Structure 1
């Protein structure tokens, strides 16, 4: 069925005349359908304000060659609005004073047409042209056509009657004119400066010829900018590392363990020679965490057997004798460190006792867990020597907890005598 012309439009489709549709009237706020033979559409003085991605949907069914948007109230055009107008060879945008030049740059730069010959952007009250106004035509890539093909086919460009801001930032435009074969219509007569006030009414070309004193870009500026950006990036990376260092160390730890496994390190089964997998040294103030979390995870979930003095020491034996006896029955030693641990003289004595185990079997015999940070005033020489002699895991709350448990289990299962892998 032949589509009829909209009531606000006058359609001319006689063979002897140009087949065009002219639409006017502020009560028209969209682009209507047109008869199939129409090849030119003029939207002038309408209430068209917003053209979304499908705003030209009614034009894709005709072989539209010319589109004119004149003195409407347009404030926005979607960047993909022109994409399907594949036969367009002329685009005119006149007196659209509410339409920002960057909106035009984005939408025209996405056009999928090889036929475009002329662009007319007259009297749109543009004060400046973005430096990359035309560079996007050369480098932007779409699915089927490179935009540089549009620039190659473009013959005419009209930017007359716009009021330019004549500053050194606009001198790129004249270089673009010199290096491209596009004909700039009405240049230089109707390309005038509007500001600064001293140049109001001056021809843009005259300003260009008198602006030899515009300072060139200093390469030092580029170097300074690069250095500042690099410093900012490094500062951000450093801040992330400091904030997440526990998790990062745990990741490195697991990576080293897996790496050593792939290289053929086979676990030694000497843990079976001991009654207990590990002897646990901790402060009474941390007993709740040890019994409810540590024992539950390692004994119930992982099947290990740990020696805990509150549960396993023999009644009637002295504490010293119990420690010596059960240390001999344990394959490894776990030390739960905290501020309360550091303040306890008894815990400090236990550290001296278990240090002998490290001297005989190496650093792999220890699993040091920093349950809570130790204040500097409570950090003794014995504790500092212990931390320097073996790797430690810091217990995190939240995201890194699963990594902590994985690292703790791997440390306790690691055979003695292997090269150290923990980096914590």
Structure 2
């Protein structure tokens, strides 16, 4: 029953039918009767993926955000009769917010679950009533990452073997600790920056790890010492600049890996590393064996070799010459490592000196204690001076980091990994609107009855209103970003209801970021009412302190006329 353009099913549709496999994907079902699955006690496999829940007509005109909030509506006990169910696929089927409670009715025999891109807001215990789930896909659920903590997956500690958690803005890994049976972990396309040994300490059964398209930098302690079963690691397109000794020791435990797309410094480590790759070409297309000859690592000043770093069994599954160029940061050029001169370093000091033994936390680098004391004294003095500066400028610093946080959200939607540039919305550079207006639904009547006729009717100032000008069929965030880029000015209609709207808050942060990014100063604040200080967020407080705003007079007709005159003058000046 795939792709049959079904919109609804009667409650008795499966009566007197004995099914084990049911495929309803790629239909347009928006709701299912509460007892539709009651006859299917023997069902093993249920596919409800890729339901097209797009609304048309009056529904979209009434609410332009319908694409984001609309989804399939499920009764809270709809899965309860499926006592034999083993496989459940809801991928790419967005659920109504209240429909998520239906997931707690999934029975205890389910082992394979896909909640990929269903708009899942958080990880809660009722998602894992079945403690036998062996494979779980929760990719493309951006809101989930904010709710992660060390006990998020505790209920799956004894069962989960495969976890896909791609493109969900995951930024920390302490929630991995309970998952001792995990064999496959895919974290592609998140915002991870640092890897820590503690995150992988219990993953003794892990075999495949995909960390590509993150922001991971080099690490200086061996983090994979306990992952004895690990065979493959994908680190493509991260922020790795150097190869440290600890990284090479971690790589030596692998059978296959990928490092392409990183901007790695042209160092002796990297040059020797790549040259050894080409010594032994394998029969696998695109893969090369790293060095049949072990790389020797010794400690300076010692007469004996302490460790031998052997990478002879490791293969690069993604090797292409253009992907493995190195960067000369002095000349700011990318170079071919194979064309560089040999490093003039003794063979026993090739990779690094002072190699940590397995299980040793840190190498003993610092032997000159006097130098350490001097450095510590300088550092303490610097910290004291920094602390004094932070005390006086704390508010501005906090606001700066808040802006940076929101800019990360914008980068997420502009990033190559999410392919939003394919939509075509982001390619228009000319101003199409004079003013992008951000307002809450409670202030809609003021915008339509006062602002719109006084702007477009009197001065022919072209406004961008979400309910009228957003492109049908594109994502809400794509529309917001595109319309802001194509608007000459940004106007915030501020009221208490504006501050309670999450979309309005997002547009306020995004507007501030856009102004910083484009070096424009075209932000207009219109206050419909006085905002109590206790309700005023710090972002708005900062804008009110740094921007001239205009307040709507509610009583005097003369003052209202003056209000429109001032607003016309400001907008016509920016338009000129």
Range into which the TM-score falls when normalised by the shorter chain: 0.3 to 0.5
More strand by share: 1
Larger relative contact order (Cα-Cα within 8 Å, sequence gap ≥ 6): 1
**TM-score using structure 2 length:** 0.26
More helix by share: 1
Larger radius of gyration: 1
**TM-score using structure 1 length:** 0.33
